[in-house]
């Protein structure tokens, strides 16, 4: 039996690739300015593990919490969970535009599935706002009417910041017991919530241990996501030895 692993995160883990790219044979053709999930590399290098990716671009701790509760409520069995935490102050403002939340599970490769939930809502970020899973007309209305008010009143509010920090501090305590192994880390935040023996977030680790100029100019996109090369280094140098190799030991336990 293959091990089964749930992976949760934001756009740093989201499996999105440009529509021009054929999956999986064309993945190496992405440009240096295309964000590229480290999970493509990890799943390719570990065919003996099945991965379900619940990552969603723009999402924060409210969504991560919801996914974990969805897994537990529906008794979806996984041997391990990998949780990629993100920056503070991400919040979700839901709308009643779609009346029902639906979940889908779509195969991407023979051992990697993309798991999505569809709802109407607005991701509120420290410096931007993003609408998801709503039709174009409704999105234009939100951008015209709602965003000016949100920008004025929602930036830097303390509740979402406190919630995100509390979630990072307690995620393993609350959810670790539902998996044989529970691993979590922060990509880019300034916070260092993790249990994989890092003393900082992943980007700070790169800055400390690799050439700064190479990291910024060759491994990141213009919007500061890891590209194909950066995510490959992250997968090989951090995720494989600190997470996946530990998960593989479950086979012999």
122 confidence band (pLDDT: 50, 70, 90):
low
Domain that holds residue 228: 3-252
5 confidence band (pLDDT: 50, 70, 90):
very high
Identify whether the C-beta of residue 79 lies closer than 8 Å to the C-beta of residue 31: no
pTM of the complete model: 0.90
Task: Give the mean pLDDT of 159-182.
Answer: 93
Q: Total domain count for the chain?
A: 1
pLDDT attached to residue 161: 80
Q: Could you report the per-residue pLDDT of 18-63, keeping only the tens digit for each?
A: 888 888 888 888 999 999 999 999 999 999 999 999 999 888 899 9
Identify whether the C-beta of residue 36 lies closer than 8 Å to the C-beta of residue 231: yes
Residue 97: which CATH number? 3.40.50
Give 252's DSSP letter. G
Specify the higher pLDDT residue, 82 or 212.
82
pLDDT attached to residue 20: 85
- What share of the chain in percent tops pLDDT 70? 81
The closest of 133, 135, 138, 129 to 118, measured between CA atoms, is 133
Q: Could you report the per-residue pLDDT of 129-144, keeping only the tens digit for each?
A: 555 555 556 666 666 6
Residue 216 clears pLDDT 80, i.e. is over it? yes
Residue 121 clears pLDDT 90, i.e. is over it? no
Cα torsion for 228, 65, 249, 208, to the nearest 10°? 50
pLDDT attached to residue 65: 96
Q: Could you report the per-residue pLDDT of 182-204, keeping only the tens digit for each?
A: 999 999 876 789 999 999 999 99
């Amino acid at each position: 039996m293959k091990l089964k692993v749930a992976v949760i995160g934001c756009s740093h883990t989201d499996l999105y690739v440009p529509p021009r790219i054929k999956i999986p044979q064309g993945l190496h053709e992405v440009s240096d300015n295309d964000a590229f999930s480290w999970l493509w590399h990890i799943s390719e290098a570990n065919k003996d593990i099945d991965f379900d990716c619940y990552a969603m671009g723009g999402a924060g701790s409210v969504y991560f919490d919801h996914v974990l509760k969805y897994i537990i409520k529906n008794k979806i069995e996984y041997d391990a969970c990998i949780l990629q935490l993100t920056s503070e102050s991400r919040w979700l403002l839901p709308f009643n535009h779609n009346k029902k939340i639906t979940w889908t599970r779509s195969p991407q490769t023979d051992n990697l599935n993309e798991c999505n939930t569809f709802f109407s809502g607005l991701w509120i970020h420290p410096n931007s706002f993003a609408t998801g899973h709503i039709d174009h007309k409704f999105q234009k209305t939100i951008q015209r009417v709602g965003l000016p008010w949100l920008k004025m009143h929602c930036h830097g509010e303390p509740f979402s910041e406190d919630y995100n920090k509390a979630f990072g501090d307690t995620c393993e305590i609350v959810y670790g017991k539902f998996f044989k192994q529970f691993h979590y880390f922060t990509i880019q935040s300034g916070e260092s919530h993790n249990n994989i023996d890092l003393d900082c977030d992943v980007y700070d680790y790169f800055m400390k241990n690799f050439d700064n100029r190479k990291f910024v100019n060759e491994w990141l996109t213009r919007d500061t996501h890891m590209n194909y090369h950066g995510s490959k280094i992250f997968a090989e140098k951090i995720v494989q030895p600190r997470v996946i190799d530990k998960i593989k030991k479950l086979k012999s336990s």
